[in-house]
Each structure stands twice: as C-alpha cells, then as structure tokens.
Chain A
Amino acid sequence: MNDRDFIIGAGGVTFSFLIYWFMGHPFFIIERIVMFIAIMTFTGTLLFFIRKARRGEEIFLREIPGLKAVEEAVGRSTEMGKPVLFVPGIMDMDQVETVAGVIVLGHVSKMTARYETTLNVPVSRAIVMKAAQDVCKESYLMEGRPDMFHEDMVHYLTDEQFAYAAGVNGIMVREKPAACMYMGKFYAESLILAETGNSIGAIQIAGTASQAQIPFFVTACDYTLIGEEFFAASAYLSQRPELIGGIKGQDMIKIIIIGMIIGGVVLRFLHDGGMIDFNILEFLTVR
C-alpha cells in the first residue's frame, strides 16, 4: 500500500465514521467514546510510525540485554553440546502472551537451526503444540536445515499446571539444558521452573506480561524481559522495519500518556481547588 492508498483508506474510514456519527450513531455506546477516541488515536500513531519505518527512515531501538542474550544462550548451548529448552507458557493461543512467545520461538529456532543445536519445546496446550511445530518447521526450512527439524522437538506434556511444571522440571534435571527460555504466560509454576533451571546452572532468559510472576523471574533468571520488552522481542530479533516502527509508535503513545497523566493531575488539582467544574476523573472513567 502506497501513501496515496493509505491516505484514501484512512480518510475513507474517518469519513464513514463521521457520517455514522451525524446520522445519530445508532448502537454506539456513547459513554465509551473517550476509549474509542484513545484507541483510534493510538492506532493512528502506530500506523504512522510503521509507515515511516517502511519508507526507510532509520529508527533507533535501544539495546535490550535479555534479547541480546538469546543468541549468546544458544551459542553457549552449542559449545556445551547441550539442548536449548523453550517453555512457551501454560496458556492457550487465545492469550496474546502465548502468541508472542511462539513468535519468539520462531526466532530462537532459527538460531538453533543455524548453530545445529538441539531444541526442546515442551508445551501444555495442543493448539500451541501445532502452532509451535509449524513455526519451528518454517524456521528450519528458512535456515536451509529441514533435515534437522523433527516434529518431536515440540511435544505435548499436559494441560494441568503443576503436572506440566513437574514434567518440565523432569526434562531439565534429566537433560540438563544449557539454556532455558520462558516466554509466555505463567502463573505459580514460574518460580518452580526458574529455580530448577537455576539449580542446573543453565543460562535463563524469561519474558512475560504476567505482572505477578516478573519478580520471580527477575530473581531466578539471568535476564528478564519485563512486560513491553517481551512484546518488542519480535521486532528486536527480526529487525523488520514495520515492527520496529511499531515500537517507536508505542514510545510516542507513551509520551502522549505521560502528557495526559500530567494534564490530568493538573486538571484534578484545579477541580479539587474549586477553580474549574470539569471533572477529569468523571470524563475518563470507562463505563
């Protein structure tokens, strides 16, 4: 899509919405208009920077030690002749973290194919198993090593949380992988996995958006991708301009949000001081 098509498309969407709005906006929940505008603004910002990156504008992406260490971890496994263990969380493909984890697995499997290192991916959901098998297969094909790929490198253990943790722990203790990566959605099993990995001396990299599990991973792993860093992993590892553009867009949205927070505090202060009637909390509360 070139610039002209993009502008026509965006203009068409905006124009259609305006017509819909002036026709009395049937079915639209008017109390949620602030959230709707926020989503549209943020989406527009993201798309703007994605297009900028696609046009070839250079975008700086700060170094993320955890992602830089992924190749180092695979290299270490290669040198030691031990496998790489990748755990894509315990939830299904309906969770965005699991999808992000599977995408990172694609990059990791490219590295294991390149370095001819064994990859072991125990999964806890059958759909994740199929998705992960496809992703790995393609990575091995792209690296020109289809001979190294075998479907059993991604294998199903169980849907049950602690049974899965026990199974992965067993693999760790028996096979002693040199690198353990935990990328996905985790719950209480996070520390059980990470501490076992720590006890076998593996280099450990974790990435999750499960806020309650981040401290456990920070404590037990060598590197942890905290929240948004995890979602930036795909852009960082692939270095594809449209994905890096999205990261820049995210940063811009963050600046907008910081501005809104400061503005909100000032407006609330003025409201509480009786200087204005406009109540920002009332305005922003989502119903």
Chain B
Amino acid sequence: MLWKRQIPILIVAVIGSITLFGWFINEPNIKSFVDDDATQWFDILASFAIFLGGFNLLKMQLQKIFRRQRGWQYSIFAIAGFFLAITAGFFYKGNPDVAWGTHVTADGTLFKWIFTYMFAPLQATMFALLAFFVASASYRAFRIRNFEATLLLVSGIIIMIGRVPLGSFISSWFILYLLVLIGGITVNSFFKNKQYTAIFVIVGIIVVTAAGSSLGWPLDQPGILYLPYLQEWIYKYPNVAGARSIMMGIGMGIFATSIRYILGIEKSYIGE
C-alpha cells in the first residue's frame, strides 16, 4: 500500500509543489530542475515505456491474425511495418557511408526512404481527409435549426466572405438592400399582412437609394455594413469575448485540478 499509494502521492505533491512554486524562486538549481531535468526524466521514462507499447501492439496484432478476427489481413501489414521500421532503425542502414544515429535523418538510408515515401504520404492522406470532414461538419453546424444556429450561419458567412478579396468589392449598400429584404420577411412573418410588407420593403428601398445617391454610393460606407470591417469586428470582439471566457474556465479547471492532485485530494489517477 505504501509503495502503491503514499509514495506516488508524495512524489506528485513534492514535484508538483517544486514546479508550481519554483516559478517564484530565482534559484538556478530549481529552475534547471523545473525547466530541463524534470521533463528529461519524463522523456526517459516514456522512452522505456515504448517497449511496453510496442509489445502490446505486437501481441494484439498477432492475436488478431491467429484468431482470424475481422480485418486480420490488415494486421499483417501492421506487423510487417513494425519489423521493417525496426530493421531500418537498428540493423540495416541501406547506406554504408552514413553513421549510425544520423541514418534516421540522412538522405539515402532505408529509414529516411520509409519516412519520406511511405510514412509522410500516409500521414498527409489522413490530414487531407480533414478537408472533407470540415465540409460535412460545417454543413451540419450551419443548418438552420434555431436562433443560435442562424446566428452562427450569418456570422460564418460574413467572416468567410469578408476575409476573401471578393468581400471587399461588395458594397455596404448591397448589404443594406439585403437587410431591407430580410426586414420585409420579418415584418411579413410578424404581421402576416402583404400590404405592410410591401410598404416596408418599398419605403426601405427608397430610403436606401436616396441615401446612397446623396452620398455618392461609397463602397465602404456605412462602415458597419462593409464586410471586411464587419468580419474584423466579429472576429475581434464577440469571438474573442467568448473564446476568452472559455479560456479562463479552462485555466480555472486546470488550476483547481492540479491543486487537487498536488494536495492529494484527487487520487483517482492511481486508483481508489
């Protein structure tokens, strides 16, 4: 019990306290421990732990093949890749002029070839899938279901159009005409009277046209409806306000959780 509970909790408390309060202390040894040593210790531990991971992976894939589980054929590729990478990393450089160690980054070696021509394209393929997933996710997010979703849609459209060159060519007056039409829809859905709607739209169009004619139709005036300005405002103010509140909540959560770990109040991570 001592080794499985008290000692780990003590280690967390001591290292956590040194890391937290070390930031307030101007002492080179503590600073180097927090900045370098502690992270290096973790890296060393993680390096040894990779053996556990590797053996687990091998065991799982072999089990899949022997038990002929669904998709077992893929496991053959996984195991082949595993041994190929080990061979290229530890046993066969493929280029005798390159020294061991540098062979993982030097050109002309088997390891580098695997990385450049097998690993990188496969990774790029997965990353490229993101574009399609963004499209399908955007479609779902922008579907008009309620007021919030509509607000998101409108903000999204304004930001997307406002950030491309086309956005700067769209006059504020065009947006004003659009607003008059949207206002007409609102009036119609509210009063359900065609006359009121027609009067609203006609008066709106006349007022906008008169104002535009008298001012000479400047592209970026009124500024609040010029898309590049509007998108910047949305991006800088409502967006930042929301993001910062989430960020503060996250910071608060991390702080409270860390304090719970350091003080040994939360011990679930080593079992109850």
Binding site for B on A (CB under 8 A): 27-29, 32, 35-36, 39, 42-43, 46-47, 50, 92, 94, 96, 99-100, 102-103, 106, 125-127, 129-131, 134-135, 138, 142, 152, 155-163, 165-166, 170, 174-175, 188-189, 191-192, 194-195, 209, 211, 214-216, 218-220, 226-228, 230-232, 234, 238, 242-243, 246-247, 249-250, 253-254, 257
Contacts and interface: CB of A to CB of B under 8 A. Distances in A.
Nearest to A103: B268
| 5 closest cross-chain pairs (CB), A and B | A231-B253, A126-B53, A228-B253, A162-B126, A126-B49
Interface residues of B, number: 61
B253 A230 contact: yes
A96 B52 contact: no
Nearest to B25: A27
Contact of A234 (B59, B249, B254, B266): B266
Contacts of A250: 252-253, 256
Among B63, B249, B256, max chain A CB count under 10 A is at B256
Contacts of A158: 57
Contact of B257 (A35, A96, A254): A96
12 contacts: A27-B26, A96-B258, A126-B49, A126-B53, A156-B60, A158-B57, A162-B122, A162-B127, A188-B130, A209-B254, A228-B252, A250-B256
B53 A125 contact: yes
A135 B24 contact: no
Nearest to B263: A47
Contacts, number: 174
Among B70, B129, B140, B247, max chain A CB count under 10 A is at B129
Given A106-B268, A188-B127, A220 B137 contact: yes
Contacts of B87: none
A177 B16 CA distance: 38
Contacts of B258: 96
Among B45, B252, B263, max chain A CB count under 10 A is at B252
A135 B268 CA distance: 8
B126 A165 contact: yes
Interface of A (DSSP majority class)? helix
B63 to A, nearest CB: 8
Contacts of B210: none
Among A189, A209, A232, max chain B CB count under 10 A is at A209
Contacts of A39: 20, 255
Given A46-B259, A192-B126, A228-B249, A127 B49 contact: yes
A226 B248 CA distance: 12
B56 A129 contact: yes
A90 to B, nearest CB: 13
Contacts of A257: 248, 252
Among B56, B57, B60, B63, max chain A CB count under 10 A is at B56
B27 A103 contact: no
B24 A152 contact: no
Contacts of A27: 25-27
B233 interface: no
A201 to B, nearest CB: 14
B272 interface: yes
Among B137, B246, B268, max chain A CB count under 10 A is at B268
A36 B24 contact: yes
B269 A138 contact: no
A209 B63 CA distance: 36
A160 B127 CA distance: 12
B136 interface: yes
